[in-house]
Amino acid sequence: MVPEVRDMYAGIFKALAHPKRIKIVELLERHGKMCVCEIVAQSQIEQPSVSKHLNILKNAGIIESEKQGLNVKCWLKTPEVSKLLAEVREILKKDLESRQAVFSKKQ
């Protein structure tokens, strides 16, 4: 793999490497196209912070947005992001199960 492609990989993972951005992506995954005001309300993250995180996700190519009147609507750019999150959930599940098994053996 060429270094430029590795940098692109890292950019995607870096954009997803924040709990608030993961929460926003999960909301978009669940609800599809959402207004920024809806994301603010449902995420309980302040509007300036939501806007900052949406900008990072957009620059990484994870979401798209468009202005509709006074509102900005956002959505996931590709369904592959949902697949990626599902794979990470499986990794976490297996890791937690193995940790639990080790803890159970020690008792």
CATH code (residue 58): 1.10.10.10
Q: Whole-number mean pLDDT of the chain?
A: 93
Interval 76-88: pLDDT, tens: 998 899 999 999 9
Quick check: 49 and 39 in contact, CB under 8 A?
Answer: no
The answer as to whether 56 is a domain residue is yes
Domain count, the chain: 1
The whole-model pTM stands at 0.87
The answer as to whether 44 is a domain residue is yes
Quote the pLDDT of residue 105: 74
Domain around 37: 3-77
Interval 5-14: pLDDT, tens: 999 999 999 9
Interval 22-52: pLDDT, tens: 999 999 999 999 999 999 999 999 999 999 9
The answer as to whether 99 is a domain residue is no
Closest to 31 measured CA to CA, from 86, 67, 82: 82
The answer as to whether 15 is a domain residue is yes
The answer as to whether 67 is a domain residue is yes
Does pLDDT of 1 surpass 90? no
Q: What is the mean pLDDT of residues 55-67?
A: 96
